[in-house]
Structure 1
Amino acid sequence: MTFSEKVHYARIKLGYSQEKLAQELHVSFATINRWENGKTEPRNMAIILFSKFCEDNNINFSSLEEDETYGTNK
């Protein structure tokens, strides 16, 4: 699963809008939108913070495999 897919997956799983996720992560809506659409890749610190946010919300970020899409293998 790509980073953009992970962001989308986590957001949908939590029932958040892009705006709500941006507020929770203390980033702009545009940042979430670019991450989710694969237009930009976050810096390492943002990846760490997003990973911690996922873990705090019972989403196992580290187990989302690169070839996995929403819990099923391609």
Structure 2
Amino acid sequence: MENVSLLKVKTMDFQDQIKFVRMHLQLSQEEFARQMGISFATVSRWERENRKPQLALLGKFYSFCQRNGIEIDLSDNTNI
């Protein structure tokens, strides 16, 4: 799959980033959750509500993006 550079995430909420990545990869919420190693409910919640994930899950998302050739800046998404 071609490299995709997401808009600087400063212009996207986390819920929009998740959905953008998932849709770009043409994955259902269920398949996205399976590939990320998280529950479907977590993905659904992330897309429905503007909730920032725990740092460990944010790292999983970042790693998932890297493995799929998607460059993403998560600097504004930490809840530290």
Scaled by the length of structure 2, the TM-score of the pair is 0.73
Query: How far does residue 38 in structure 1 lie from its aligned partner after superposition?
Result: 2.0
What is the alpha-carbon distance in structure 1 between the residues aligned to residue 44 and residue 51 of structure 2?
9
What is the alpha-carbon distance in structure 1 between the residues aligned to residue 60 and residue 51 of structure 2?
16
Let me know the Cα RMSD of the aligned residues. 2.0
Unaligned runs of 5+ in 2: 1-11
Query: How far does residue 37 in structure 1 lie from its aligned partner after superposition?
Result: 1.3
Query: How far does residue 36 in structure 1 lie from its aligned partner after superposition?
Result: 1.0
The 3-state SS of whatever aligns with 1:27 is: coil
Scaled by the length of structure 1, the TM-score of the pair is 0.78
1:1-21 CA-partner distances (Å, limit 9, x unpaired): 111111000000000000000
Question: Equivalent of 2:27, from 12, 16, 26?
Answer: 16
What count of residue pairs does the alignment treat as equivalent? 65
Please list every run of at least 4 consecutive aligned residues from structure 1 whose deviation after the TM superposition is greater than 3 angstroms. none
